[in-house]
Amino acid sequence: MPGGSFVGALVSGILTDWLGRRRAIQVGSIIWCIGSAISCSSFSIGQLVVGRFINGLSVGILSAQVPVYVAELAQPSKRGTVVGAQQWAITWGILIMFYVSYGSSFLDGPSAWRLPWGLQMIPAVFLFFMVFIMPESPRWLAKHDRWEEAHEVLALVHAKGDRNDAFVQTELQEIRDMVEFERQNSDASYLDLFKPNMIYRTHIGMFTQIWSQLTGMNVMMLYIT
C-alpha cells in the first residue's frame, strides 16, 4: 500500500492540474473502491497485493490533494483549522476501522478479513457523491483562466454570493498575483529544488515527512488490532 501511495502522490499533481480538485478527489474515490473490491474478493496473496497497491494509489492522490482543496476554499485565517479538522477526521476513521476489525475478529472463516476490506468502500462512495455539491477550487479555476467562475466561487464561499465584498476582491487579487507569478516562472523545474538557495527548504520538507513515517506510527496503526 505505501508503494501505491508513493506512485499516487507523484501523479496527483498532474491529475489535479488536468481534471481539477473535485474530479481528482472523485477519481481517487473510485480507485479506492476498485482496490477494496479486489482486496475483499481475494483468492490469492497476489490478488491481495494488487488490491492493496491500487488502494495505495488512491491514498497518494487523496492525501496530497484533499488538504490543498480544503485550504484553497477556506479563508486564510481558517486554513489551519480546516486542514487540522481534515486530519482529525482521518484519525476518527482509523479509530472506527479499529473497532470494525476487532468486531470482525469474532467471525469465522474468510469473512473475518473480507468484511473490513469491503466496508471501507462506504466512506469513499459517500465522498464521491458529496463532492458533487462542493464548488471547484477558485485557484484552479483561475489557473485555467475561468475568472468569472473563480469570482463566483469566492463570493459564494466567503460572502454569501456578494461579488463586491471587500474580502472577495482582496482574495481574487491575491489569486491573480499568484497566477501571474507562476506564469512568469513557468520555466522552473524540480531540479530548482536542489539548487543551493533552495536545498535547505527542500531538506526540511522531505525529512519532516520522512521522520514522521520513521517513528513507526503507521506500523502501529496497521497492526495494533
Nearest C-alpha neighbor of 110 from the set 57, 29, 58, 47? 47
Question: What's the chain's Rg over C-alpha atoms?
Answer: 20
Please give the Cα distance from 33 to 13 (Å, whole number).
21
Check residue 90 and give its pLDDT: 86
Q: Which ranges of 105-131 would DSSP assign to H, the alpha helix?
A: 111-119, 121-130
Overall average pLDDT of the 195-218 stretch? 86
Lowest mean pLDDT among 42-56, 57-71, 107-121, 206-220: 206-220
The grid cell for 193 is: 529544488
In whole angstroms, how far apart are CA 204 and each of 88, 201, 207? 24, 5, 5
The interaxial angle of helices 21-40 and 45-73, nearest 10 deg, is 160
Q: Quick one: CA torsion of 210, 76, 177, 145, rounded to 10 degrees? A: 90
Q: What is the pLDDT of residues 57-108, one digit of tens each?
A: 999 999 889 988 998 888 888 888 988 898 889 889 888 988 998 999 999 9
Residue 115: all three cell numbers together: 468484511
Give me the pLDDT at residue 216, please. Answer: 80
What's the confidence (pLDDT) of residue 225? Answer: 62
For the segment 128-137, the average pLDDT, to the nearest whole number, is 94
> Looking at per-residue confidence, does 186 or 55 come out higher?
55
Query: Which pLDDT score is estimated for 78?
Result: 87
| Check whether domain 1-130 has CATH 3.30.565.10, yes or no | no
Our CA angle for 25, 90, 26, nearest 5°, is 10
Q: Which grid coordinates are listed for 180?
A: 501571474
Residues 6 or more apart in contact with residue 104 via CB below 8 angstroms: 111, 112, 113, 115, 116
66 three-state secondary structure? helix
- 203: phi > 0 → left, psi -120 to 50 → alpha, else beta; which? alpha
pLDDT, residue 7, reads: 93
Its pTM stands at 0.84
Q: What's the CA gap between 38 and 205, in Å, rounded?
A: 34
